Amino acid sequence: MRRLVLLSLLFVLATACGRRDKGFMPERLLSEQEMIAIMTDVQIIEADINYQKTQEHEQKPDDTIKIVPKDYVRMSRDYYDQLFEHYGITDSIFVQNMKYYTERPEVLGRIMDSVMQRLTKEQSEPQKGDSQ
């Protein structure tokens, strides 16, 4: 959760500041395609956590199947640790790249457009095991 808050704060600060340091270079620059893949997974992670929170809050007192409250901070940390491990990066590399790309709004816009296209495509495709 700390990482998520840090990421959000970094994003807001980077976009809100009038001065742009276009000379900043991350320790390891991720390509646009890598950022698209990572940010797609970030959106899926956030959607899953929000869905689980919604399910927990919508539970009625008379429900026969009780949903056990979850530790969302730990869950978020675990998800992001797995994400970073999968892509072979650290949280600091991710944050550095977010800073780099937020300083280049035209590129970040392309990345986020591609992320939305991927998510839309994935959502419209039938999932394995779904009947058609």
Q: Rounded mean pLDDT of the chain?
A: 82
Predicted confidence (pLDDT) per residue in 95-111, tens digit: 999 999 999 999 999 99
| pTM, entire model | 0.72
Burial label, 30 (beta-carbon count in 10 A; 0-12, 13-18, 19+): buried
Please report where in the chains the tokens 């007192």 appear, as a residue.
Answer: 61
Return phi, psi of residue 109, to 5°: -60, -45
CA-to-CA dists, residue 101 to 22, 63, 93, angstroms: 10, 46, 12
Predicted confidence (pLDDT) per residue in 29-74, tens digit: 999 999 999 999 999 999 999 998 888 777 666 666 666 667 888 9
